Chains A and B, each alone.
Chain A
Amino acid sequence: MKKLHIVGIIVIAVAIGVIFVSLKNTSTYADFTEAISNPEREYHIVGKLDKNQPQIYDPKINADQFMFTLIDNKGISKQVVLHKSKPQDFEKSEQIVLIGKIEGNEFHANDILMKCPSKYNDGKAQVN
């Protein structure tokens, strides 16, 4: 057997290893129900801001803590503690992705992605 064949086998083994190891550890998109049943695991929760519930952000107490309520895609709402400062234009968001896990009665998120309606295609917006 040639040396390069051994190298080739190692390369393939590493590639397969990466796929398995990463899939085992990777976070998945889910809803609150799944996150509650598995509180140790990190999840990406997709949902909308509940505009009827209060949002608490007091940078004097903690500039890196923002609380609000999210309604996931299945309609379940949950109090969220985001460990970051309140994102600019938060109220405008039409979709939110939270990354974090369930802790007690709250969902603790360490990161947030927001989708805001873009004024890119305003002609479209006016139809609605």
Chain B
Amino acid sequence: MDVIIESLSKALKLLLTFDKETYDVIILSFKVSILSSLISGIIGISLAFFLSIKDFPGKKILLSFINTGMAMPPVIAGLLITILLWRNGILGSFELLYTPYAMIIAQTLLATPIILGISVSAFQSFPDKFILQLLGLGANKVHLFLIMLKECKLSILSAIMAGFGTVISEVGASLMVGGNIKGYTRVLTTATITETSKGNFDLAIAYGIILLFITLTINLILTKIQQTSVKRHG
């Protein structure tokens, strides 16, 4: 118990004194995860719009794959990206493995199906006649996209936050493609593992507190969104 209390106070000190090493890890984590969430958001939301307004053979199978992708284990994403970026891999010539870019790519692969899956179900909740109504008023595809985005902004925001929550707390992919290089690719999750294995519980707890804080904040916002949505439609 003493170890926990002592570590907790040291952790708080690290955070409150803006310890450089600690904050480098925090900032890199945020940079990587925010960027990958944004890229996933752009890809996921655009694809979701396309999938929700177009009918084509094999659409249901594709949606099943997307749903499966929503539960993709991070180590699988890490493995796939490692193979792609490996020296002899298809993208090996770019020499991205063990860089933050590789982490962004891997996290994008993880977050895209999540954002895509949630966004598809949000867009598909639109009645077909609503889309016909907008087209009948002269809307083009861009108008349609912007209106649908605005109409389900809460669900889309939830999708992005769910994607962000997944990637900031994943460890497998970042470890595999980033290599956990101190001061370069070390992020909150990989740093927590490293510090725990070294017995540096104060640092590990400091990282843990940040991760918990992020998760709690995301959940609070999602709950708020959910409640607002229930009130509006209730």
Q: Report if A and B associate in a common complex.
A: no
A interface with B by C-beta (< 8 Å): none
B interface with A by C-beta (< 8 Å): none
